[in-house]
Amino acid sequence: MVQSLVNRLEKINETPDFIVFDECHHASSNSYLKIQEKYPDAFILGLTATATRLSGKPLKDVFDVIVSDVQASELIKLGFLANYDYYAPKINADFSTIKIRAGDYSAEEVEIALDKQQIYGDIIANYKKYAAGRKTIIYCAGIAYSKKIEQKFNDAGYRIKHFDGTTKKEERDKIIDDFRNNRIDILTNVDLVGEGFDVPDCDCCLLLRPTQSLALYIQQSTRCLRPQENKRAVIIDFVGNAFRHGMPTEDRDWDLQEGKKCKNKNGERDVLVRECRQCFKCYLGISAICPYCGFDNGKTRKELEEEKRAELEKIEKIERQKKKNEVKGKTYEELVAIGYARGYKNPEYWARVRTDYKENKMWEKKHGNY
């Protein structure tokens, strides 16, 4: 492990020529930098599925070139990742006012926002509807909420276990072993079951942690996509991460010079991803036609708002032209009457200005503008 190596750097006599960093989106963090400073002449190869820091910080200070020829969509076609269905049930929790700390939502405030809504029943109902009987990982923002999820699912008859960074290693190993060997159906966790966790028959993820980090979203939501014969996974996103970042396996152009930022911070729907109103699956883009069931979802709210705004602008333009036509060729007395009808404060002054303006224009046309 990186931390183990960092703690022993002064005791190691060998000098490596070549270093491989797995999960290298962490390579600009302090622990990785200490290794690079210790061996400045070593060549470094980085491997990752998410070439951006959790904070969105670019990796240009560590690496010189990026090779990104394979997209997740291609890996699915080739059988190296499982295909999946993505659901995003709408809940009432509002995350727009939650403070951002270290580039992401405050875990404590997320817990409070979710707890206020008491959506445990909705979570379990949607799980029964879309993913009953699946081997499942649940991602929570905080320990207290994860333990409540454990209790609610346990009360509903599911074999579930919570663990987190404070769980002792022996207990943690036993929990993972029980999960692998089907003695536990569901794991609920905080920042544990992410990178490198390999349980091929895990076929469901529940997202209960909103995040502004694209890397964290992809790492967590795709943990159920390890390939297995005839496997089609299910991702249930209760916190709208797909609407912030897009679908987890959509094609992305990774760049060392620019980190990936959250594209839709407020998680507004129908901007990056749509949810079908008939089959309830999410799909990339804002096309009206669902690629899964063919249902016509109509125009997005944004498209309807833009059409309404365009119509209002058209009406305002027509009204302005109508007013112009109404005063064209009118005498001073007629203009005064129009001013009174329109409710102007000083119709006489308005009529005089327009009359003087018209007379001046006529004089300029006849004699020129001096």
- Separation of alpha carbons 261 and 212, rounded Å: 8
| Better-predicted residue by pLDDT, 272 or 304 | 272
- Separation of alpha carbons 137 and 175, rounded Å: 12
Q: Is the pLDDT of residue 364 over 70?
A: no
pTM to 2 decimal places: 0.80
Per-residue confidence band for 234, with pLDDT thresholds at 50, 70 and 90: very high
Q: What confidence tens digit (pLDDT) does each residue in 170-201 have?
A: 999 999 999 999 999 999 999 888 777 888 99
Residue type, 359: E
Per-residue confidence band for 368, with pLDDT thresholds at 50, 70 and 90: low
Q: Is the pLDDT of residue 369 over 60?
A: no
Q: What confidence tens digit (pLDDT) does each residue in 44-74 have?
A: 999 988 888 766 677 888 899 988 778 999 9
CA atoms 102, 105, 109, 115: torsion sign: negative
Tell me what the mean pLDDT of segment 23-27 comes to: 87
The 3-state secondary structure of 125-161 reads HHHHHHHCCCCEEEEECCHHHHHHHHHHHHHCCCCEE
Q: Where are the alpha helices (DSSP H) in the chain?
A: 2-7, 30-38, 72-78, 107-117, 120-131, 143-155, 169-180, 214-221, 241-245, 301-327, 332-342, 347-367
- Separation of alpha carbons 77 and 85, rounded Å: 15
Q: What domains can be seen in the chain, in order of their start residue? A: 2-47 (no CATH), 72-297 (3.40.50.300), 307-367 (no CATH)
Tokens coding 252: 């992305």
Tokens coding 132: 């009953």
Tell me what the mean pLDDT of segment 297-312 comes to: 79
